C-alpha cells in the first residue's frame, strides 16, 4: 500500500510515517517511479512501534530493538534485549506504583469534597496534592 493508506490504517500522519522512515525505523520498498510501498513487514514494524511507544519506549530504544531483531540470533543479542526490557519493566513498575497511589489520593479527594465538604477538608486535600507532588519529585511518577 502507498503512504497515505498506510498512514490512515495506523491513524498517523504521512509526515510521521516519513519521519519513521527517515529515522530508519520503517523500510518500505521504493518503486522505480519513487513511490514507497508499505508491505506486511512494514505493517508488523509499525504495530511494534505503536505498542512500544505506548509502553514508553523512546524512538532510539525502538530503533535499537529493531536493529537487534535484524541481527543473527546470539546470546549477546538476547542478553542485550533482556536488559533493555528489564530496564523498561522497572520504569513501568515505578510509574504504576505512582498511578496507583495517585488514584487512591484522587478517590480520597473526591470523597473529601463530596456533599460540599471542600471547605472543611481543604487542608487534607492540599496535603494529598503535596504528597503526590513529592512522589513525582522522588521519581515515582
How far, in Å, CA of 28 to CA of 118, rounded?
57
Q: What is the pLDDT of residue 9?
A: 97
pTM of the model: 0.75
**Dihedral (CA of 21, 22, 27, 29) sign:** positive
As a whole number, mean pLDDT of residues 47-51 equals: 97
Q: What is the pLDDT of residue 139?
A: 66
Dihedral over alpha carbons 46, 65, 89, 43 (to 10 degrees):
10
3-class SS of residue 63: helix
Q: Would you give the distance in Å from CA 97 to the centre of its chain? A: 17
Q: What is the pLDDT of residue 10?
A: 97
As a whole number, mean pLDDT of residues 48-73 equals: 93
Q: What is the pLDDT of residue 137?
A: 83
pLDDT at 141 over 80: no
Q: What is the pLDDT of residue 105?
A: 86
More confident residue, 137 or 84: 84
**Dihedral (CA of 26, 32, 34, 39) sign:** negative
Residues 6+ apart with CB under 8 A from 94: 139, 140, 141
> Residue written as cell 523512546?
58
Strands (E), the chain: 29-30, 36-37
3-class SS of residue 24: coil
**Dihedral (CA of 124, 121, 103, 84) sign:** negative
Average pLDDT, the chain: 91
> Residue written as cell 470523597?
111
Amino acid at each position: 500500500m502507498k503512504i497515505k493508506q498506510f498512514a490512515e490504517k495506523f491513524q498517523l500522519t504521512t509526515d510521521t510515517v516519513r519521519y519513521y522512515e527517515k529515522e530508519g525505523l520503517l523500510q518500505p520498498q521504493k518503486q522505480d517511479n519513487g513511490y514507497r510501498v508499505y508491505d506486511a513487514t512494514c505493517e508488523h514494524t509499525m504495530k511494534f512501534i505503536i505498542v512500544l511507544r505506548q509502553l514508553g519506549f523512546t524512538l532510539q530504544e525502538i530503533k535499537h530493538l529493531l536493529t537487534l531483531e535484524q541481527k543473527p540470533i546470539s546470546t549477546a543479542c538476547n542478553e542485550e534485549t533482556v536488559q533493555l526490557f528489564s530496564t523498561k519493566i522497572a520504569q513501568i513498575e515505578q510509574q504504576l506504583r505512582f498511578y496507583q497511589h495517585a488514584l487512591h489520593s484522587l478517590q480520597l479527594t473526591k470523597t473529601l469534597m463530596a456533599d460540599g465538604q471542600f471547605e472543611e477538608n481543604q487542608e487534607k486535600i492540599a496535603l494529598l496534592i503535596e504528597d503526590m507532588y513529592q512522589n513525582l519529585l522522588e521519581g515515582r511518577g
